[in-house]
Amino acid sequence: MVKINNVLILAGTHGNELSGIYIDKLIRDNLYNVQRSSFTSFSKLVNLRAIECATRYLETDLNREFSNEKNHEIANSHEKLLSQNFIAENVQQGDQGNNQLFIDLHNTTSNMGATLILLSNDAFYKKMGAYVKQQMPEANILFEDEKTWEEQAYLCTADKYGVMIEVGAQAHGSLQHNTLILMQKMLSAVLDYVEQSNLNTLGSLKNYDAFYFTEEVAIPIDQDGLRSAMVHPGICGKDFEVVKHGEPLLITLQGEEISRVDTPETYPHFINESAYCKKHIAMALADKRLVVVE
Binding footprint of Zn ion on the chain (CB under 5 A): 14, 17, 106
Triad 102, 105, 107: Cα angle to 5°: 155
Of residues 144 and 195, the one with the C-beta less far from Zn ion: 144
Question: In the bound complex, what is the minimum distance in angstroms from residue 35's beta carbon to Zn ion?
Answer: 25
Nearest approach in angstroms of CB 258 to Zn ion is 28
Least distance CB 17 / Zn ion (angstroms) = 5
CB of 61 to Zn ion, least distance (A): 9
Grouping H, G, I as helix, E, B as strand and the rest as coil, residue 77 is coil
Position closest to Zn ion via CB: 106
Min dist CB 179 to Zn ion, Å, is 13
Minimum distance, C-beta of residue 275 to Zn ion, in the bound complex (Å): 7
CA separation for the pair 143, 102 (Å, rounded): 16
| DSSP state for residue 15 in the 8-state scheme | T
Residue 44 · residue 10 · CB < 8 Å: yes
Nearer Cβ to Zn ion, position 165 or 229? 165
In the chain, what is the greatest distance between 2 CA atoms, to the nearest angstrom? 60
> Do 100 and 159 form a contact (C-beta atoms < 8 A)?
yes
Pick the closer one to Zn ion by CB: 3 or 78.
78
Judged by CB, which is closer to Zn ion: 4, or 162?
Answer: 162
∠ CA(49), CA(19), CA(147), 5° rounding?
80
Amino acid at 20: G
Q: In what order do the strands lie in the sheet with 257-258?
A: 229-231, 250-252, 257-258
Least distance to Zn ion, CB of residue 171, Å: 13
Pairing outcome for strands 140-143 and 113-118:
parallel
Query: Helix, strand, or coil here: 206?
Result: coil
Choose between 63 and 198: whose C-beta lies nearer to Zn ion.
63
Distance in Å, CB of 106 to Zn ion, minimum? 3
Residue 267 vs residues 1, 124, 167, 173, 249: alpha-carbon distances, Å: 31, 25, 17, 27, 11
Identify which of residues 117 and 136 has a Cβ nearer to Zn ion in the complex.
Answer: 117
Rounded to whole angstroms, the Cα distance separating 220 from 50 reads 30
Cβ(286)–Cβ(269) under 8 Å? yes
> Residue 265 in contact with residue 243, Cβ under 8 Å?
yes
Q: Which is nearer to Zn ion, 53 or 123 (CB)?
A: 53
Which of 17/239 has CB closer to Zn ion? 17
